[in-house]
Amino acid sequence: MKVYIIGIGLIGGSFALDVKANFPDSKIFGIDANEAHLDRAKELKLIDEKATMADFEDADVVFVAVPVDVSLEVIKQTLDQIGENTLVIDAGSTKAKLCQAVTNHPKRRNFLAAHPISGTEYSGPEAATPQLFKDKTNIICEVEKTAFKLQEKALDIFNKLGMRIRYMDPESHDRHIAYVSHLSHISSFMLGKTVLEKEKNERDIFDLAGSGFASTVRLAKSSPAMWTPIFQQNKENVLETLNGYISNLTQFKNLIENEDFEEVFNEMERTNHIKTILNGIN
């Protein structure tokens, strides 16, 4: 299997590692706007060779893992270049604008819109992690628009990588993911900003920050180059989630100002239900 990966960072590099592990006869080709990333990816043995889009005609799979604003054009250009039996998969965190952008492409049947919900706060080839996708949910949108044989090829890859599959329409995907992913990143970035503004002594932040702060602010280490386009493409849903979040923060602030600590307790106790959900649903 000849696999071409566009974007050799955390997601693309991790995909390369897992494809190599599960398909030993595969050959991995890398494409990246950053030549240093490609050189490092070869050193780390994430890819076997560098490539260009001109090589796509003999590709079995092209996996696109670039920022979502870039992916709109990259995926259309990729579909222009591929052969009739090539499967193109993307891994972006927004889907509505992408699916709309390719809806009338002559090779729409070759494209599978996917979003593996996995990752870390790190970026670049060094961030690539084996089994990053194992036991993670992979959302597939508009599966009916992908040729059946290419669906089968994609599902074989996803199954071997250990992913759980869910199907959604692009609009539902973007709405749900705004709450469970995009809002989390905004909250983390703004918590980090607040602490940096109020705690001027960096030594105090380092010495006094406990595990709670570290885990809550972890996502603030994520790449702004990746997340700014996500917020832009999913603007309406992100604003809706922010309005709800700000309303809850304001209500909680008012409870403390009014010394209604019984209701503060009740609010937190009700929210404790989230741990039951995150522990797993049959």
pTM to 2 decimals?
0.88
Side-chain half-sphere exposure of 95, counting CA atoms within 13 A: 27
112 phi, psi to nearest 5 deg? -120, 120
Task: Output the tens digit of pLDDT for each of the chain's 282 residues.
Answer: 999 999 999 999 999 999 999 999 999 999 999 999 999 999 999 999 999 999 998 999 999 999 999 999 999 999 999 999 999 999 999 999 999 999 999 999 999 999 999 988 888 999 999 999 999 999 999 999 999 999 999 999 999 999 999 999 999 999 999 998 999 999 999 988 988 887 776 776 666 666 677 778 888 888 999 999 999 999 999 999 999 999 999 999 999 999 999 999 999 999 988 888 777 755
148 phi, psi to nearest 5 deg? -60, -45
CA–CA distance from 275 to each of 31, 267, 272 (Å)?
A: 41, 14, 6
Extended beta strands in the chain, E state: 2-6, 27-31, 49-50, 61-64, 87-90, 111-116, 137-141, 164-168
Return the amino acid letter for 216.
T
Query: Within 10 A of 132 (CB to CB), how many other CB atoms are there?
Result: 21
